[in-house]
Amino acid sequence: MSKTINSFPEVLTIAGTDSGGGAGIMADLKTFQARHVFGTAVVVAVTAQNTLDVQASKLMPQSLINAQFAAIAEDFQIRACKTGMLGNSNRVRAVVQNLKKYNFGPIIVDPVMIAKGGTALLSEEAIVTVKRELLPLATLITPNIPEAEKLTGQHIENKVDFQKTARILQNLGAQNVLIKGGHQNSDTVSDYVLLANQTHFWLTKPRTHTNCTHGTGDTISACITAELAHGADLATAIRCGKNYVTATIEHPIQVGHGHGPLNHWAAQKEGLAYEKI
């Protein structure tokens, strides 16, 4: 009797590593695994990092970034991809060129700028490159509040500011926008979504009072990427991403001594089949 060979959609993260296992490519791959897609990775940067801070980092040579893209394109059928830490202008440009060269499906741009401990993960000069060159390729851009402010020059304090800023990001070329509200000072966390067809909605959950929030942004964008690869429509994928990241925050694990990582097993622990999230 022949055995069934399972197949899973293949996805790609283009980002930086976190030696502490909580953020960047490590969070992306853990999320991909939990969401039943096969994860591949282009390493743009390596960081020496733990839950306390980023202690050192190095950007990969552009030739090695190009070689990783080529190796993946040669052998895999990538259904959706996401970007994270890109470091500087040259690396952003290298990534943009490769994304134009290969068709890796929907592109989720997480415009990572600063780690929770305060270390810059994108140089100041690269912000304008992200804005001019990467943002127009984005199927969905997923900035947190400080990133959305940097990209648009807007100050975000209230709901109207979120809506205005999302519209500006769309006018800059991102097809769809999710502004994450983790950096608010409130008992609930509200994210704002503006879709290409002008549908818009809020995703609101109770705030979990915890310092285990290292990698929340990576995790929600990786989950959205996975769901798109499974064939979900964007609104469904975003709702699923929010539910998944909320579960990973609500069931903390004890790791490290600073901003702890998320619990990527959370959905299983809650007895939620991955389809039901």
Ligand X SMILES: Nc1ncnc2c1ncn2[C@@H]1O[C@H](COP(=O)(O)OP(=O)(O)OP(=O)(O)O)[C@@H](O)[C@H]1O
Ligand Y SMILES: Cc1ncc(CO)c(N)n1
Residues making contact with ligand Y (CB under 6 A) = 15-18, 23-24, 47, 49, 84-85, 112, 115, 121, 215, 217-218
**Residue 107 binds which entry of ligand X, ligand Y, none, with Cβ cut-offs from 5 to 8 Å by kind?**
none
* Per-residue binder mask for ligand X (CB under 6 A), 34-63, x = binder: ------------------------------
Report which DSSP code applies to 137: G
Report which DSSP code applies to 9: -
**DSSP code per residue over 204-235:** EEEPP--S--BTHHHHHHHHHHHHHHTT--HH
Looking at the Cβ atoms of 110 and 133, the one nearer to ligand X is 110
Please tell me the distance from the alpha carbon of residue 263 to that of residue 240, in angstroms, as a whole number. Answer: 16
Of 125-154, binders to ligand X (CB under 6 A) are: 144
**Residue 47 binds which entry of ligand X, ligand Y, none, with Cβ cut-offs from 5 to 8 Å by kind?**
ligand Y
Residue linked to tokens 């990775």: 41
Looking at the Cβ atoms of 58 and 183, the one nearer to ligand X is 183
Residue 238 as a binder of ligand X (CB under 6 A): the answer is: no
Distance of closest approach, residue 23 Cβ to ligand Y, in angstroms = 4
Residue 223 as a binder of ligand X (CB under 6 A): the answer is: no
**DSSP code per residue over 59-120:** EPPHHHHHHHHHHHHHH--EEEEEE---BSHHHHHHHHHHHHHS--SSEEE----B-TTS-B
Looking at the Cβ atoms of 146 and 231, the one nearer to ligand Y is 146
**Residue 249 binds which entry of ligand X, ligand Y, none, with Cβ cut-offs from 5 to 8 Å by kind?**
ligand X
Q: Is 243 exposed, middle or buried (0-12, 13-18, 19+ CB in 10 A)?
A: middle
Residue 246 as a binder of ligand X (CB under 6 A): the answer is: yes
Distance of closest approach, residue 119 Cβ to ligand X, in angstroms = 11
Looking at the Cβ atoms of 51 and 98, the one nearer to ligand Y is 51
Please tell me the distance from the alpha carbon of residue 23 to that of residue 18, in angstroms, as a whole number. Answer: 6
Is residue 178 within 8 A of residue 193, CB to CB? The reply is yes
**Taking the CB of residue 152, how many other CB atoms lie within 10 A of it?**
20
**Residue 16 binds which entry of ligand Y, ligand X, none, with Cβ cut-offs from 5 to 8 Å by kind?**
ligand Y
